[in-house]
Amino acid sequence: MNDHFYPIILAGGRGTRFWPLSRKRRAKQLLALDGQRTMIQQTAARLLPLAPAAACWVIANDDLRQGIIEQLPRIPPDQVLAEPAGRNTAPAIGLAAFLLARQDPEAVLGLFPSDHVIGNEPRFHEKVSRAVAIAQAGPNIVTLGIAPTRPDTGYGYIEAGAAVVQPEPGIAFAPGADVLRVRCFKEKPDEQRARQFLEAGNYYWNSGMFVWSARTLIGALQEHLPRTAALLEQLAAAWGSPDFPAAFQRLYPQCENISVDYAVLEPRSQKPEREAALFCIPSEFGWNDLGSWAALYEHRMGQGASADGSNVIDGGDSFTLDAQGNYVYAPGKFVAVVGVEDVVVVETDDALVVTTRQHSQDVGKIVKYLDERKLSKLV
């Protein structure tokens, strides 16, 4: 456990691709999709061997804040921050950096989405600890990269360069074949480019998990996002005072709506390698980003959840005939699946979704439609 390490859990998303189970006030991160514990409870639990609960922060929204406090009673409630307006990851993690730098000048922050599944937690702890050590050694930014197993178009990619296998000028951490320089970050590709990335062998899925010192992140934001950095600095100065709530409501929505990838990582990757100080740690610890019903199907299959070898049915008793590759969620109901392949069916008390695994990424468009029609009871 490192006394200067502060995990920041991002939990502000709506999880629209898991509609109709995921709703505005009970989003995906508050649901138990693959076990007894919810996604955010699993996230917090695997971080506790790395840092005490008092060092953990959660960035959420007002709809979810109270539910998160109830589900994570060990994290101090005032460290569960509800954004007044969604501004993506750069302002969220930036605010945490400014706050923690005032509290601990040696603070190292880890950014962790609240909806990931990790199969091998000891290996996860090993990789994160390595990243923390590198971040503490200088103005380094470290990302955990996942070796791709398929040409997936739903993830951003990291193009990795050479391994840091010997001491170099400006390198203050222990070198090793497990640390690669980052050449650049790639946006979500089409299928052809995804296949090229897979075949090249030096591309990794961008897991969205990053580690850096608070000072490093603050410096990067001041360089690449100066207006937002100034607003966040004002907020940090007001933290703990009676003025903070009003300042938070007034200043935070003025921050730019941008991800930390676009705001910091991409411009930094354009610099010469030694100046950029961007590193990737290849990580194989059973990672899964549960981003859709299809991803949940694949995860549950990996857990051996299928009774007949190819269908996953979350319901009561079931019957299948000439059916394969299907996912059905209908708790408490008898489910019969006959003569269909790769179908997703999700039923709640007030809604029903029927799609295919291939198109499950489009479920989020249903929520957009409902928002436009102001059908608030369904979102």
Peptide bond into 242 cis (omega under 30): no
pLDDT band at 272 (very low <50, low <70, confident <90, very high): confident
DSSP assignment letter at 187: P
Report the alpha-carbon distance of residue 92 to residue 83 in Å, rounded: 8
Phi-psi region of 221 (alpha: psi -120 to 50; beta: other; left: phi over 0): alpha
pLDDT exceeding 90 applies to what percent of the chain?
A: 80
Write down the pTM of the prediction: 0.91
Does residue 160 surpass a pLDDT of 90?
yes
Q: Mind listing the pLDDT tens digit for each residue in 58-81?
A: 999 999 999 999 999 999 999 999
Q: Enumerate residues 6+ apart whose C-beta is below 8 A from 226.
A: none
> For the chain, which residues make up each domain, given as ranges?
5-289, 293-378
What mean pLDDT comes out for the span 302-328? 87
Topology of domain 5-289, per CATH? Answer: Spore Coat Polysaccharide Biosynthesis Protein SpsA; Chain A (3.90.550)
Structure confidence by residue, pLDDT tens digits, 205-261: 999 999 999 999 999 999 999 999 999 999 999 999 999 999 999 999 999 999 999
- pLDDT tens digits, one per residue of 7-19: 999 998 888 999 9
Amino acid at 135: A
pLDDT tier, 307 (very low <50, low <70, confident <90, very high otherwise)? low
Nearest to 93 by CA among 1, 206, 156, 7: 7
